[in-house]
A = this chain, B = another copy of it.
Amino acid sequence: MTSDRDPIQILIDEFRRLPGIGSKSAQRLVFYLLKEADEASNQLAEAILGLKAGLQLCSQCNNVTDKNPCRLCQDPNRDPKTICVVEEPFNVLSIEKSGGYRGRYHVLHGVISPINGVGPEDLKLKNLLERLADETVEEIIVATNPTAEGEATALYLSRLIKPLGLKVSRIASGIPVGSDIEYADSVTLSTALAGRRSL
């Protein structure tokens, strides 16, 4: 049946199931690719095929990578004294883009969420504890999302790691830079007030 379908419609349907792409965007993408040179659209297809071909989780930080250990774990210029703990691999990318962090990472691949049946045993904590046994680590920055699940995970990690004599910190929550106090929701505003720092 597939062979009889229109190749244009097949690709429109494929694009449409991706997040954030509706039927008009999908149509636009397909006709853009149609006008393009063959090599350019083949490059896109090869990049998709190549995405998972060589990818694995880094044995140290659990980030998705094509090399083990990953580029970030191998980079000698990164500070081995701090580990930033995040929920998902794409959080690493966001923090890297911000340029505000030069230490190591650890990806949990989830957060504690009793409602979804996710407990601490489902998170990638085993190799985190192994890394902490190493004497060079001094501080753990918990950068899970400021949601109920993210906070619960942060609390759990803090109780787990503090007894080992390490510093555990949490990224700041508050009013986003450039936004207006007037439009901040009340939980964010009270968090920002509670988290005030002296000038």
Which chain A residues have a beta carbon within 8 Å of chain B's beta carbons? 6-8, 10-11, 13-15, 18-21, 25, 27-34, 38, 41-55, 64-66, 71, 88-90, 93
Residues on B with C-beta less than 8 A from A13 are 47
Main secondary structure of the interface of A (DSSP, over half): helix
Q: How many copies of the shown chain assemble into the complex? A: 2
A71 to B32, CA, bound (A): 22
A66 to B54, CA, bound (A): 34
CB nearest neighbor in B for A50: B7
Residues on B with C-beta less than 8 A from A19 are 28-29, 32
Residues on B with C-beta less than 8 A from A15 are 44
A49 touches B42 (CB 8 A): yes
Set B48, B51, B52, B93: member contacting A48, Cβ < 8 A: B48
Residues on B with C-beta less than 8 A from A29 are 18-21
Pairs A–B under 8 Å by Cβ, sample size 25: A6-B65, A6-B66, A6-B71, A7-B47, A7-B51, A7-B55, A8-B51, A8-B93, A11-B47, A11-B48, A14-B44, A18-B33, A19-B32, A20-B25, A20-B28, A20-B29, A21-B29, A31-B89, A33-B48, A34-B51, A41-B51, A41-B52, A42-B48, A45-B49, A48-B48
